[in-house]
Structure formats: C-alpha cells, structure tokens
Amino acid sequence: MISAKYAQAFARYNRWQNASLMAAADLLSEAQRQHNAGAFFGSILGTLSHILWGDSAWMNRLTQTPFTPTPIDESGRLWRDWSAYKIARVAMDERIIEWAYSVDDSFFKKDLTYITAKGIQVTKPLDLVVMHIFNHQTHHRGQAHCLLTQFGAKTADTDILIYRENT
C-alpha cells in the first residue's frame, strides 16, 4: 500500500527530473530534439510529449475532469514546439504536486473506473494506478535520457537517492 507521502515524494521527484531533462535538451538544437532516433516515440521531444500526454490523461482521470483522450499513437506529436512543451510540462508538474498534496492515505484504498486510450472501461486499484503513473514517467524519461546522451548532452543524476540528498 502506498501513501500520500509516497505520491508527494514522487511528484516532487518527477518535477526535479523533468526540469533536469529540459535543461539538458535546451542545449540541443531544435533539429536534434526532433530527430527520429528510432525510439518508440521517435525523438527526444516525441518521448517527452508522450510522457506529458500520459500525465495529462491520468490527472484528468484522477481528478474526475472530463476530457477527450488523444490516441496513444498521436501522443508523441502533441507538442511540436519546444517552448510550448516546456510551459505545459512545468504546469503539469505543478498540477501533479498539487494533486498529491490534496489526497490522504484513504484515497489509495479505493478503485478508479476509467476509459483507456483504446476506449475500454476498466476498474483498477488507485494505489496501483498511482504507482503506474510514476513508473511510466520514469520508464520514458530513461528513454529520453538515452537519446539526450546520444547527442552528447550533459545530463544530471537521475537517482532518487541523489534527489533526496539534495532536498
């Protein structure tokens, strides 16, 4: 069972990591950020766009905010403009943190019924959903980190232990 404290810690870690990746990607050219390097979502920006797409869908589900989901195969193309992406990413990170501080431990004992990206209604335990959200971010940020280093970008540490030591 996870707790509100778990969600809060990962929400802050998520913001720290996203800021770090954006700082590294800022040093690349637009062409490098959009270069299709054969990753699942093509490019650095495509991968980061997919993460933001997922975060947006999950935050809407968790807060019961109506939305029309974009198909997953379009998720890597939602943010084509780097400046617009960064603004949206920072806003989403703050939304995730705000959400994490709005729930208590009892929240994680409930289920969430939602419509998947494929249009299927499912019900899942909220503790598992929240773990999935943070795991999804970490998984794809690892892909973005790999793409950044292929272009010679200098990236900061990604270890949560390093984050905890510095906060």
Query: Are the beta carbons of 97 and 15 closer than 8 angstroms?
Result: yes
Taken in order of first residue, the domains within the chain and their CATH numbers are: 4-165 (1.20.120.450)
pLDDT tens digits for range 4-19: 999 999 999 999 999 9
What secondary structure letter does DSSP report for 153? Answer: -
Decide if pLDDT at 95 tops 70. Answer: yes
Q: Work out the pLDDT band at 162, boundaries 50, 70, 90.
A: confident
Which residue carries 């996203």 as its tokens? 18
Q: How far apart are CA 61 and CA 82, in angstroms?
A: 26
pLDDT tens digits for range 110-143: 999 999 988 899 999 999 999 999 999 999 999 9
* pLDDT at residue 97, as a whole number: 98
The torsion of the CA quartet 37, 43, 47, 50, rounded to 10 degrees, works out to -130
Q: How far apart are CA 78 and CA 125, in angstroms?
A: 29
What's this model's pTM, rounded to 2 decimal places?
A: 0.94
